[in-house]
Amino acid sequence: MIILAIETSCDETSAAVMENGTKVLSNVVASQTEFHKKYGGIVPEIASRKHIEVINPVIAEALEKAGKKFKDLDAVAVTYGPGLVGSLLVGLCAAKAIAWSLKIPLIGVNHLEGHIYANFLNSHLPSPISLFPFICLIVSGGHTLIVEVKDHGKYKTLGRTRDDAAGEAFDKVARFLNLGYPGGPIIDQLAKEGDPHAVEFKRPMIEKEFGYDFSFSGIKTAVVNYVTRNASPATIPPIPDVVASFQQAVVETLVEKTVQAALNHKIKTVALAGGVSANSALRKHLTERGGGEGLRVLIPPLEYTTDNAAMIACAGYYKSISGDLSALDLKPVASLKL
Ligand code: KG4
Ligand code: ZN
């Protein structure tokens, strides 16, 4: 079965072609970062316009790289939420037009579900069915949640952020420190030169009473206050130390709650998903801490951590074989829940 998948929920225009839910034949990602950089964040209006400009060439490139033509397609999968409505609409319109004109099924995919399925794009893993149930930490620019994945399409959210997403905190701290955009990868690199124990930022909401909920807006403010209070270069630790300490506090909090969720629910596997799962410290810490507790730790391949259509193709494949197809009047849902 050949699926074309389209992902345009935020600022990446992506198309992928996948065979039988396992083999990624192509995964083209056109990033708009350059256009949003000068604003220090994503401008929704610019995002939708850029998607319109590149959606057709991106789909054409994905087909060409896969060595396929439109006539070879068996289904089209597309992200319909959560995300920016204007951005989602562009991918949805393209997917609907292809499904309608080729008379093939349309499969609407939840973006967060796509991130979870990035874990199944790891060629070293056995079939997904042997991995259920697992605890998945989804950490991106817009979301931070801990989910129990019971089976294909069966999710139970155990906790979520009460304010900022983890990626949002990375981006805001980087913006405050004038490090550039997006902040996550920049802080990840810079933190490698710093001491993660230079500043002891409080681990937010780590106490048991908060369960698996998170809060990252306080730690962002703590960084701002720390740097402002110690504004003299003679007293402030170097910026690599500050960002390494910030990253350490965020990573420890994410990892601790994820591991506790697995232990408390007697689940033997934990997985990472979402853009922040590209973070080297998070990948390392979860592997070590989870491994230390005897858990199997799934880390998605780096190329499938940030937004991409291959993960949507994989999620779409499993939806299609369970008959979970969408009507051609599928609408974008900005705050779609898992
Ligand atoms: O999943 P994603 O591509 O888009 C959303 O669905 O939000 O995630 C983007 C987020 C941004 O906040 C970005 O700063 C963060 O993921 N990110 C990282 C890293 N790479 C991307 N955060 C920390 N370390 C990284 N290496
Ligand atoms: Zn995402």
Return the residue whose CA atom lies nearest to atom 2 of ligand 1.
275
Distances (CA, A) of 64 to 67, 203, 277, 286, 323: 5, 48, 29, 38, 28
| 182 CB near ligand 1 (under 6 Å) | yes
Ligand 2 centre distance from Cα of residue 211 (Å): 24
Ligand 1 centre distance from Cα of residue 180 (Å): 13
Minimum mean pLDDT among 13-17, 123-127, 259-263: which range?
Answer: 123-127
Q: For residue 107, how many C-alpha atoms fall within 13 Å in the half-sphere facing its CB?
A: 28
Specify whether the CB–CB gap between 147 and 136 falls below 8 A: yes
Specify whether the CB–CB gap between 4 and 73 falls below 8 A: yes
Return the residue whose CA atom lies nearest to atom 13 of ligand 1.
184
| 7 CB near ligand 1 (under 6 Å) | no
pLDDT band with cut points at 50, 70 and 90 for residue 162: very high
Distance CA 219, CA 221 (A): 5
Judged against a pLDDT cut of 90, whether residue 300 lies above it is answered with yes
Furthest CA-CA distance within the chain = 68
Atom number, ligand 1, closest to the C-alpha of residue 189? 26
pLDDT computed for residue 31 by the predictor: 94
Pocket test for ligand 1, best of 109, 276, 303 (most atoms within 8 A of CB): 276
pLDDT band with cut points at 50, 70 and 90 for residue 252: very high
pLDDT computed for residue 237 by the predictor: 83
| 306 CB near ligand 1 (under 6 Å) | yes
Q: For residue 242, how many C-alpha atoms fall within 13 Å in the half-sphere facing its CB?
A: 24
Distance CA 329, CA 64 (A): 28
Please tell me the pTM assigned to this model: 0.96
Specify whether the CB–CB gap between 298 and 269 falls below 8 A: yes
Pocket test for ligand 1, best of 27, 284, 306, 312 (most atoms within 8 A of CB): 306
Contacts of residue 296, Cβ cutoff 8 Å, sequence gap at least 6 = 131, 134, 268, 269, 270, 290
Distances (CA, A) of 117 to 164, 194, 302, 330: 24, 33, 13, 22
| Chain mean pLDDT for the chain | 95
Minimum mean pLDDT among 26-30, 156-160, 208-212: which range?
Answer: 208-212
Distance CA 63, CA 68 (A): 5
> Which 3 state secondary structure label does DSSP give 269?
strand
Judged against a pLDDT cut of 90, whether residue 282 lies above it is answered with yes
| 83 CB near ligand 1 (under 6 Å) | no
Ordered structural domains, the chain, with CATH: 2-117+305-321 (3.30.420.40), 130-299 (3.30.420.40)
Distance CA 88, CA 83 (A): 7
Structure tokens at 306: 């940030």
Return the residue whose CA atom lies nearest to atom 11 of ligand 1.
141
Judged against a pLDDT cut of 90, whether residue 17 lies above it is answered with yes
Specify whether the CB–CB gap between 36 and 14 falls below 8 A: no
Return the residue whose CA atom lies nearest to atom 16 of ligand 1.
275
| 240 CB near ligand 1 (under 6 Å) | no
Atom number, ligand 1, closest to the C-alpha of residue 83? 6
- The arithmetic mean of pLDDT across residues 209-219, rounded, is 94
Ligand 2 centre distance from Cα of residue 227 (Å): 30
